[in-house]
């Protein structure tokens, strides 16, 4: 399914009917996500942060889906969806502080970069094992249904996750219990190095949903308005008691899996270049220019705003100290048991490790 | 007060929790219409309906993964894993997710869930209906591990576990399910987590046990008493966080320690208990601490009574330790 035509006009039958302000907000959020991504990638290359997992080329699939969910709906992230969290108003400074694991990192330096969460933004916690979040989303939606709340849950995962034990368990539970959950599969072509053709023998990923009797759609994940429309339809189905929806968002991971990856080993530049031409941001820009509500000046002004914002966040993050060592020992349980009190005291009162750069 | 066996006491706890808190729900394989393969949940679906006593598809990953999602949204799911031997498909959900959610969100999210599962041998269940995997969960920061030995403790501990804000793995000694009866209050009383109990006071040897093996340790203590050896038997009840005070002060008094568990010996919880006590009470020890455990084999069928650390293996160790 595509909504935005090559000339920037919309397929009137599929147009989700967003106002000019709404489309511009969506576009600006996608650009901001990319600029933040780009800056983090650069500072990782400079060795200033340990790691980053970006969303280059997948901004429509991520931000477009987040925009179609209502504020009261939950987002259950995989790990590439910080654009969805920022869309919900999560402070950029807090995210950058997390990337640095500094004293203002909400998780006190306990997690690798890009492991975000926020209860106020109804955004569950990123976890690195693949697919484990999918049953959480189903359980969350079962709880919402049981508690009679008008909420649904959108869970992101990649094509690779559809091979996981957890994916099939979650799909099956969703089919049986019919909770208000949207399975948002970013089929970006690769699970690290493995192309989707080797991940599964099925022609599409969406067809797997039929085995669980979950209605499915397959949309152009680089078309923000197609993503928006499909997700909004799923939200409506869920809100009307129609149960789960599976949406395959066809996109492409233009960047590496993470900053630790070298995609040149497993795919050609030509392949990547073809997808650069299908860029979701260029695509949406073409549409707002077609509507005559956007131009080069507005675009470069917005990019400057975003760039200055993220640079300022980085500057502040770098000035902040490390989290307190004692915070390593809290939040394991609601109340700290005796053995952790003992270990904390021993650690705090004991010798300190040499800084990494001092090690030979 | 009603005389109850372990199955009835756990059923009574679940019924009480379901009545008191609308956020409590039960889920698992065959727990609804059938009442569970051990009938622990018998009658609960009839009383509370299929939305609070869920018969789930056959997937431990699905049961535990969706339970986590429910717990993240304010419910207090109590999942049943039909046999502890079948918990491994859901192990990742417990170890990577339930155990770490509080830590990895600095307390912004937490997972108040209970996983009930029958464990242990002696019921002619062979290697896939007899295992005691408690050490795997004790080894996982963020989980609490409980293992009652009798109906009174089981009811009080389970009610406390359901109210606890951390994930609790609740091991039920299936060998004891219908073997022991005692008077159990009809109220929803609590037995606090993290408190062991001296079930037989003694001066010469401290013997630690839990679950089904508590009875073996107790019987062995009675047996050696005839030969003049006075054993203190402690039922740990909560395996983690451990009641370190009670066991340390007992060993400081007796100077001798024997630990009984049916799980395999190597890296079993007994090893950790020996280390903890040795660190704390080394100068009080009069004999080497000893473990009487299952052997380091998969759980057997025909010779299960030689695999299990029953009285015949415990009593001689108590004597040797006392006379060391």
> Residue A286 CB: number of other CB atoms within 10 A?
17
Domain ranges, ordered by start, for chain B: 2-184, 197-323
E strand segments, chain A: 74-76, 153-158, 181-187, 190-191, 194-195, 216-220, 245-250
pLDDT at A55 over 70: yes
Check: CB of residue B174 under 8 Å from CB of residue B123.
Answer: yes
> Are A332 and B244 an interchain contact pair (Cβ–Cβ within 8 Å)?
no
Q: Record the tokens describing residue A108, joined without a space.
A: 């006190």
φ/ψ of residue B170, rounded to 5: -115, 100
SS3 state of residue B293: strand
Q: pLDDT by residue (tens digit) across A85-120?
A: 999 999 999 999 999 999 999 999 999 999 999 999
Long-range contacts of B212-216 (CB under 8 A, 24+ apart): B212/B120, B212/B122, B212/B149, B212/B173, B212/B174, B212/B175, B212/B176, B212/B262, B213/B260, B213/B261, B213/B262, B213/B308, B213/B309, B214/B149, B214/B150, B215/B149, B215/B176, B215/B180, B216/B260, B216/B308, B216/B309, B216/B310, B216/B311, B216/B314
Active-site pick, A136, A232, A257, A287: A257
Give me the residue from B66, B77, B89 closest to A165, CB to CB. B89
Output the CA torsion sign for A354, A338, B215, B170: negative
> Are A117 and B104 an interchain contact pair (Cβ–Cβ within 8 Å)?
yes
Q: For chain A, count helices (H), then strands (E).
A: 13, 7
- Distance, in Å, from the CA atom of B144 to the CA atom of B136, rounded to the nearest integer, reads 11
CA distance A36 to chain B (A): 23
Best probe of the B interface among A106, A333, A336, A339, by most B CBs < 10 A, is A333
CA distance A331 to chain B (A): 5
Residue A344: list chain B partners with CB under 8 A.
Answer: none
Check: CB of residue B221 under 8 Å from CB of residue B318.
Answer: yes
Q: At what angle do helices A296-319 and A92-100 cross, to 10 degrees?
A: 50
Three-class SS of A46-81: CCCCCCCCCCCCCHHHHHHHHHHCCCCCEEECCCCC
Q: Where residue A1 falls among pLDDT bands split at 50, 70, 90?
A: confident
Query: Comparing B2-184 with B197-323, is the CATH topology the same?
Result: yes
Q: What is the ipTM of this complex?
A: 0.96
pLDDT at B12 over 50: yes
CA distance B74 to chain A (A): 8
Best probe of the B interface among A78, A120, A134, A142, by most B CBs < 10 A, is A142
Q: Record the tokens describing residue A46, joined without a space.
A: 């400079």
> Are B92 and A339 an interchain contact pair (Cβ–Cβ within 8 Å)?
no
Mean per-residue pLDDT of chain A: 96
Q: What integer is the mean pLDDT of A290-294?
A: 95
Q: What integer is the mean pLDDT of A148-168?
A: 97
pLDDT at A359 over 70: no
pLDDT of residue A99: 98
Best probe of the A interface among B69, B102, B143, by most A CBs < 10 A, is B69
Active-site pick, B129, B284, B303, B312: B129
CA angle B34, B39, B44 (to 5 degrees): 70
Interface of A with B (CB under 8 A): 74, 106-108, 110-111, 115, 117-119, 124-125, 127, 129, 132, 134-144, 146-147, 165-166, 169-170, 172-173, 176-177, 330-334, 337-339
Q: Domains along chain A?
A: 20-323 (3.40.50.970), 327-360 (no CATH)
Rg (CA), chain B: 19
Is residue A266 flagged as an active site residue? yes
> Are A136 and B61 an interchain contact pair (Cβ–Cβ within 8 Å)?
no
> Are A146 and B25 an interchain contact pair (Cβ–Cβ within 8 Å)?
yes
- For B91, name the nearest residue in chain A, comparing CA atoms only: A132
Is residue A303 flagged as an active site residue? no
SS3 state of residue B1: coil
Q: Record the tokens describing residue A265, joined without a space.
A: 């080993």
Alpha carbon separation from A94 to A310, A356, B39, B166 (Å, rounded): 11, 25, 50, 27
Q: What integer is the mean pLDDT of B71-98?
A: 98
pLDDT of residue A133: 98
CATH number for B2-184: choose from 3.40.605.10, 3.40.50.970, 3.40.50.720, 3.30.365.10.
3.40.50.970
For tokens 């009938």, the residue is B39
SS3 state of residue B49: coil
> Are A110 and B104 an interchain contact pair (Cβ–Cβ within 8 Å)?
yes
> Are A107 and B104 an interchain contact pair (Cβ–Cβ within 8 Å)?
yes
> Residue A338 CB: number of other CB atoms within 10 A?
13
Q: What integer is the mean pLDDT of B207-226?
A: 98
- The answer to whether the peptide bond before residue B241 is cis (omega within 30 degrees of 0) is yes
Whether pTM exceeds 0.90: yes
Q: pLDDT by residue (tens digit) across B276-298?
A: 999 999 999 999 999 999 999 99
Q: What integer is the mean pLDDT of B27-54?
A: 98
Mean per-residue pLDDT of chain B: 98
> Residue A275 CB: number of other CB atoms within 10 A?
16
> Residue A147 CB: number of other CB atoms within 10 A?
14
Q: What integer is the mean pLDDT of A106-135?
A: 96
CB pairs under 8 A between A and B: 142
Q: pLDDT by residue (tens digit) across B103-126?
A: 999 999 999 999 999 999 999 999
Alpha carbon separation from A295 to A24, A77, A205, A353 (Å, rounded): 12, 33, 37, 54
SS3 state of residue A32: helix
Burial of A297 (0-12, 13-18, 19+ CB in 10 A): exposed
pLDDT of residue A355: 84
pLDDT of residue A360: 46
Rg (CA), chain A: 21
- For A337, name the nearest residue in chain B, comparing CA atoms only: B241
- Distance, in Å, from the CA atom of A352 to the CA atom of B124, rounded to the nearest integer, reads 53
Output the CA torsion sign for B235, B238, B242, B244: negative
- For A136, name the nearest residue in chain B, comparing CA atoms only: B69
Residues 6+ apart with CB under 8 A from B288: B324
* Strand-by-strand arrangement of the B114-119 sheet: B53-55, B24-28, B76-80, B114-119, B168-173, B144-146, B238-240
pLDDT at B303 over 70: yes
Q: Record the tokens describing residue B132, joined without a space.
A: 């005691």
Q: Where residue A241 falls among pLDDT bands split at 50, 70, 90?
A: very high
Give me the residue from A136, A166, A337 closest to B72, CB to CB. A136
Q: pLDDT by residue (tens digit) across A167-194?
A: 999 999 999 999 999 999 999 999 999 9
> Are B105 and A125 an interchain contact pair (Cβ–Cβ within 8 Å)?
yes
Active-site pick, A42, A72, A266, A276: A266
pLDDT of residue A358: 56
> Residue B266 CB: number of other CB atoms within 10 A?
12
Question: CA neighbours within 13 Å on the CB side: how many for A256?
Answer: 14
CATH topology assigned to domain B197-323: Rossmann fold (3.40.50)
> Are B103 and A147 an interchain contact pair (Cβ–Cβ within 8 Å)?
no
> Are B110 and A334 an interchain contact pair (Cβ–Cβ within 8 Å)?
yes
């Amino acid at each position: 399914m595509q909504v935005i035509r090559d000339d920037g006009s919309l397929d009137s039958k599929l147009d989700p009917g967003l106002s000019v302000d709404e489309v511009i907000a969506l576009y600006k959020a996608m650009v901001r996500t990319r600029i933040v991504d780009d800056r983090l990638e650069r500072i990782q290359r400079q060795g200033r942060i340990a790691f980053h997992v970006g969303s280059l080329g997948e901004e429509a699939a991520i931000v477009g889906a987040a925009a179609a969910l209502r504020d009261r709906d939950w987002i259950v992230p995989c790990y590439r969806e910080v654009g969805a969290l920022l869309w919900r108003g999560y402070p950029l400074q807090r995210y950058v502080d997390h990337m640095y694991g500094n004293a203002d990192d909400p998780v006190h330096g306990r997690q690798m970069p890009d492991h975000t969460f926020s209860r106020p933004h109804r955004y569950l916690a990123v976890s690195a094992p693949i697919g484990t979040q999918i049953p959480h989303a189903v359980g969350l939606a079962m709880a919402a249904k049981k508690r009679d709340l008008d909420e649904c849950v959108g869970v992101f995962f990649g094509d690779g996750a559809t091979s996981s034990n957890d994916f099939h368990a979650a799909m099956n539970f969703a089919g049986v219990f019919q909770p208000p959950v949207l399975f948002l599969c970013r089929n970006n072509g690769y699970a690290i190095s493995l192309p989707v053709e080797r991940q599964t023998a099925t022609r599409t990923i969406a067809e797997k949903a039929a085995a669980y009797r979950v209605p499915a759609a397959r949309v152009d994940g680089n078309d923000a308005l197609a993503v928006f429309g499909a997700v909004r339809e799923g939200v409506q189905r869920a809100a009307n008691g129609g149960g789960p929806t599976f949406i395959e968002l066809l996109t492409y991971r233009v960047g590496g899996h993470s900053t630790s990856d070298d995609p040149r080993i497993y795919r050609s530049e030509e392949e990547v270049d073809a997808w650069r031409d299908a860029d979701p941001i260029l695509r949406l820009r073409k549409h707002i220019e077609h509507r005559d509500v956007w131009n080069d000046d507005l675009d470069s002004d917005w990019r400057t705003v975003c760039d200055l914002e993220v640079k300022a966040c980085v500057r502040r993050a770098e000035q902040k100290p490390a989290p307190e060592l004692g915070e390593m020992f809290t939040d394991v349980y609601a109340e700290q048991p005796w053995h952790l009190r003992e270990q904390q005291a021993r650690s705090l009162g004991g010798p300190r490790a040499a800084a990494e750069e001092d090690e030979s | 007060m009603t005389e109850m066996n372990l199955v009835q006491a756990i059923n009574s706890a679940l019924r009480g929790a379901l009545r008191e808190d609308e956020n409590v729900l039960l889920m698992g394989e065959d727990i609804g219409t059938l009442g569970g393969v051990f009938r622990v949940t018998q009658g609960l679906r009839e009383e509370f309906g299929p939305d609070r006593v869920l018969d789930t598809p056959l997937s431990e990953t699905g049961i535990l993964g969706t339970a986590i999602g429910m717990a993240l949204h304010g419910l207090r799911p109590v999942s049943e894993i039909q046999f502890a031997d079948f918990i491994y498909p859901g192990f990742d959900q417990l170890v990577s997710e339930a155990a770490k959610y509080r830590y990895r969100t600095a307390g912004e999210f937490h997972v108040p869930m209970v996983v009930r599962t029958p464990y242990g041998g002696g019921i002619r269940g062979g290697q896939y209906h007899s295992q005691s995997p408690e050490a795997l969960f004790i080894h996982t920061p963020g989980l609490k591990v409980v293992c009652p030995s009798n109906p009174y403790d089981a009811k009080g501990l389970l009610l406390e576990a359901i109210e606890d804000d951390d994930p609790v793995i609740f091991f039920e000694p299936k060998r004891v399910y219908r073997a022991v009866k005692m008077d159990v209050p009809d109220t929803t009383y609590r037995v606090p987590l993290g408190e062991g109990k001296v079930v037989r006071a003694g001066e010469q040897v401290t013997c630690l046990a839990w679950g089904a093996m508590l009875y073996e340790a107790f019987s062995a203590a009675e047996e050696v008493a005839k030969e003049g050896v006075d054993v203190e038997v402690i039922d740990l009840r909560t395996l983690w966080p451990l009641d370190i005070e009670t066991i340390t002060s007992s060993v400081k008094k007796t100077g001798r320690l024997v630990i009984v568990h049916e799980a395999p010996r190597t890296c079993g919880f007994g090893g950790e208990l020996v280390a903890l006590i040795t660190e704390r009470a080394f100068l009080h020890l009069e004999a080497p601490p000893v473990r009487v455990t299952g052997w380091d084999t998969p759980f057997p069928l025909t010779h299960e009574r030689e695999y299990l650390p029953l009285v015949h293996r415990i009593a001689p160790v108590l004597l040797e330790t006392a006379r060391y």
